[in-house]
A and B are shown apart, each in its own frame.
Chain A
Amino acid sequence: MAVDTPPATPAGQAGAQRPPAASRLRLLGSGDAVITFVLVLFLLVAALSVEGFASARNTGFLLLDVVVIVLIALPLTLVIVTGEIDLSVASTVGLSSAVMGQLWFAGLPLETVIPLCLLLGAVLGAVNGFFVTRLGLPSLAVTIGTLALYRGLAFVVLGDRAVADFPRSWTTWAISTIGGTGIPVVVVPLLVLVLVTAVVLHATPVGRSLYAMGNSEDAARFSGIDVGRTKFWLFVVTGVVSALGGVYWTLRYGSARADNAQGLELQVIAAILLGGVSIFGGRGGLLGVLAGALLLGSVRNALQLENVPADVLNIVTGGLLVVAVVAPQVAGWVRSRTRPRPAGPPNAPPARPAPDTRPSTDPAVQVPADQRGNR
């Protein structure tokens, strides 16, 4: 009696009735614009009041610190837009770093090691994708599992050793800057990747389909999108990019360790959510994510310059994350106090045959009209 759910729940319909299309005004108030504004404001204030913040040297440090976060945030944003999540990214960084160290230690040239690491990343991502799309398991649970598994394997591969004798030419390249500007060289390829991702997400049918999936997986499927395959390849790409992050991390610090980038997934996800991407999928843009990552990075950087202890940085990071998600809710509440809104439970299974993928309960989904990839 109890346990049989009819294949169509009312929530499925609720997801369909979105508010009317975005007006320009709405766009101004969207997460992207707000976070970008906050970032610009913060950069101005910090440049004026924090000594040394605006120097070329410091800019270099700041950018170097956010490179890997931005890099991994690119594919992970796409994953979150589809309503999934990948918590295993930092463990993939760790495992690829450990494997890179071990292979280099075994005498392979880096020209061979790096492609192998990227291949490994693809396999790790494919494992996630297989569990999520083939077996229909919730990505949250799957990637908590692989978070532990990949990190554990990293320790199995390298133990608590560190491999540090990478060729100087590679490690200096990783932190070299463009002329005297202080801007790291790697920012250039990173920008190319950002552009590619932005184009894919905001200007191609594939990108559109990601938002469609995030808003209603069923609607997406009915409109002919191969949801499973798209998500599978997204996980693969996330794995490859995370492995690339691992390679870069290893070169940048000149050290391959199994515990490299431990806990980085939290920072990446914090940056993405701060950038206005909804954890429920279907909403958010890459500009916001970029601004979110830079904001987190520059807040930490400015506080460090002010000699604020590292402990406070954690409080600020955590506080920013909470504020970032509470603020839109409060704004929405102020805007429409009349409508009683149910609580947004955080998680739900991305069960493939789910009849209803966009439940009505999330206020964040109902309020914004500009889900359609606000640029």
Chain B
Amino acid sequence: MSERAGSPVDTARPTATPTPAAPPTERPGRGAALVHRLVVVRELGILAALLLLVVVTVVANPRFLSGQNVRDLLISASILTVLAAGQTVVVVTRNVDLSVGSTLGLSAYATGTLLVTAPGTPVPVAVLAGVVVGALCGLLNGVIVAVAKVPSLVVTLGTLYAFRGIDSLWASQSGRLQINAADLPDGFKAIAGARVLGIPVLFLVAVVVVVAVGFVLRSYRSGRELYGIGSDPDAARLSGIPVGRRVLAAFVVSGALAGLAGVMYAARFQTLDATAGTGQELFVVAAAVVGGVAIFGGSGSVYGAALGALLLTTIGAALPQLGLDPFWREAAVGALILAAIVLDRSLSLRLARRLRGRNLRGS
């Protein structure tokens, strides 16, 4: 909303590395080490919550950890994880992409249509097509945000409607309101069940995406610059970072990953209509926030977001096992978001105090 530059502590939120004031070239001092440790603690915290949840659920129902159940869980989590990875890239720049659910739907429908109308299409081409559709959606968002300099919250709220509208218009005009499993070629459908060393391929895709995004964000100059932009856009601009271009690229990445998630959705569910992915944006943002990605940019890691996605998915799967109404899921997600931001706040306040103390000692 307000694009305030933030309180003294905001820039001191746990970041994978510090804010732009400490460019990646600077050798990590004690402050950076402190920040780094906090990030690790934060991510271990999610992991601990996840483990606790799994243990409690397994005690209630030992079959929760059966091979098939775990595989289903990982496949479910992988779509959300890919979306959350893309969202992280955007959110660290102090932007947000609310249109990912609609982008997913559009890309899933486009992929499905391609495979139905041209059954001979090789699977990689279909995947690429879905990714390109998503990237184009992201490009549109990015151009409006970066060139017209309009708040991304508003823009992506608009495109959330618009992409969904295009999706359902396409579905109703083409006379193919629903694409069923029977219409899809076998080669594509095989993706859902495919495994490598017993691990579902869809999950491996998510892992590759997370590692790749994590690597770029952490080790590439352009990745570091995204954090710089999110910490303080003005400072980033003054220090020569091409803010507009980076933000544009972040939206394209988010869109492309939402497109990939659309392909994964199509492969997994194999029944597609214009409503695919509706409301996903809430869970995607939730996964990122729960994973420690600060909603106002500049901090958080894609690994945290991925763990957040895994945690949210596990909650959904665990509730019925614990004998709780599945209706509790959304409430649990909401409570978790609140808990996560309160935790982040207190961590960053403590960190700020520690760092200030250090400065006073004249380090």
- Does B associate with A? yes
Q: Which residues of A contact B (CB under 8 A)?
A: 1-7, 9-11, 80, 83-85, 131, 135-142, 144-153, 155-156, 159-160, 214, 217, 258, 266, 269-270, 273, 279-281, 309-322, 325-326, 329-330, 341-363
Contact between A145 and B334, CB atoms less than 8 A apart: yes
Contacts A4-B352, A361-B3 given: A137-B341 contact, CB under 8 Å? yes
Q: How many residue pairs, one in A and one in B, have C-beta atoms under 8 Å apart? A: 312
User: Can you sample 13 A-B contacts with CB below 8 Å?
Assistant: A4-B352, A83-B1, A83-B2, A85-B1, A149-B333, A342-B233, A343-B146, A345-B297, A346-B154, A347-B297, A349-B6, A349-B10, A354-B6
Interface size class of B (residues with CB under 8 A): 35 or more
- Which single member of B158, B234, B274 contacts A359 (CB below 8 Å)? B234
Q: Which residues of the other chain, B, contact A140 by a CB distance below 8 angstroms?
A: 1, 153, 295-296
- CB pair B282 A326 closer than 8 Å: no
B7 touches A355 (CB 8 A): yes
Q: Name the A residues within 8 Å of B182 (CB-CB).
A: none
B119 at the binding interface (Cβ < 8 Å):
no
B216 contacts the other chain (CB 8 A): no
Residues of A within 8 A of B345 (CB): 135-137
* Most chain A Cβ neighbours within 10 Å, of B29, B164, B274, B338: B338
Contacts of B341 in A (CB 8 A): 131, 137-138, 141-142, 145
* A51 CB to nearest B CB, Å: 23
CB distance from B345 to the nearest CB of A (A): 6
CA distance A347 to B154 in the complex (A): 11
Q: Which residues of A contact B329 (CB under 8 A)?
A: 152
On whether A152 and B334 interact (CB within 8 A), knowing A3-B21, A342-B243, the answer reads: yes
In the complex, chain B residues 7-21 whose Cβ is within 8 Å of any chain A Cβ: 7-12, 15, 18-19, 21
Give chain A residues whose Cβ lies under 8 Å from the Cβ of B337.
Answer: 141, 144-145, 148-149
Do A148 and B333 form a contact, CB below 8 Å, given A156-B325, A315-B166? Answer: yes
Q: Is B151 an interface residue (CB 8 A)?
A: yes
B-chain residues with CB within 8 Å of residue A360 when the two chains form the complex = 234
- In the assembled complex, B44 has its CB within 8 A of some CB on chain A: no
Determine, out of B60-68, B91-99, B264-272, the stretch whose residues face the partner at the interface: B91-99
Distance from B175 Cβ to chain A, minimum over Cβ atoms (Å): 13
> With a CB–CB cut-off of 8 A, which chain B residues contact A147?
282, 334
**A351 close to B282 (CB less than 8 A):** no
Q: Indicate whether B215 reaches chain A with its CB closer than 8 angstroms.
A: no
Question: Contacts A3-B18, A358-B4 known; A345 to B338 CB distance under 8 Å?
Answer: no
Contact of B158 among A160, A214, A318, A353 (CB under 8 A): A318
Closest to B244 in A: A343
**Closest chain A CB from B193 CB (angstroms):** 31
**CB-based nearest A residue for B4:** A348
Known contacts being A4-B8, A4-B356, is A311 close to B334, with CB within 8 Å?
no
Interface bits B293-304 vs A (CB < 8 Å: 1, else 0): 001110000000
> Could you say which of A159, A269, A353 contacts B327, with CB atoms under 8 Å apart?
A159
B245 → chain A closest CB, angstroms: 11
User: How close is A189's CB to chain B, nearest CB, in angstroms?
Assistant: 30
Given A4-B355, A142-B338, check contact A349 B4 (CB 8 Å).
yes
A273 and B158 CA atoms in complex are apart in Å by: 11
- Nearest opposing residue in chain A for B169, CB measure: A311
Q: How far is the CB of A363 from chain B (nearest CB, A)?
A: 6
Cα distance, A359 to B6, chains bound together (Å): 9
Say if the beta carbon of B46 comes within 8 Å of chain A.
no
Contacts A5-B12, A156-B328 given; does A139 touch B146 at CB 8 Å? no
Asked whether B169 lies within 8 Å of A350 as measured between CB atoms, the reply is: no
Closest 5 CB pairs between A and B? A149-B334, A152-B331, A2-B22, A318-B161, A152-B330
Which chain A residue has the least Cβ–Cβ distance from B166?
A: A315
Query: 8 Å CB contacts to A: which residues of B119-155?
Result: 144-146, 148-155
Contact A314 B164 (CB under 8 A): yes
**Chain B residue contacts of A214, Cβ below 8 A:** 2
Contact present for A2 and B4 (CB under 8 Å): no
**Given A138-B295, A318-B160, also A345-B151 (CB < 8 A):** yes
Given the contacts A4-B355, A152-B332, A280-B1, A345 and B21 also touching, CB distance less than 8 Å:
no
Contacts of A314 in B (CB 8 A): 161-162, 164-165, 168
Say how far A211's CB is from chain B's closest CB, in angstroms. Answer: 13
Known A144-B289, A152-B330: A281·B158 in contact at CB below 8 Å: no
The verdict on A346 contacting B3 (CB below 8 Å), with A312-B169, A315-B169, A360-B234 known, is yes
Known A4-B352, A11-B5, A281-B2; contact A346-B96, beta-carbon cutoff 8 A: yes
Interface pair A3/B328, CB less than 8 Å apart: no
- CB contacts (< 8 Å) of A83 on chain B: these are 1-2, 4
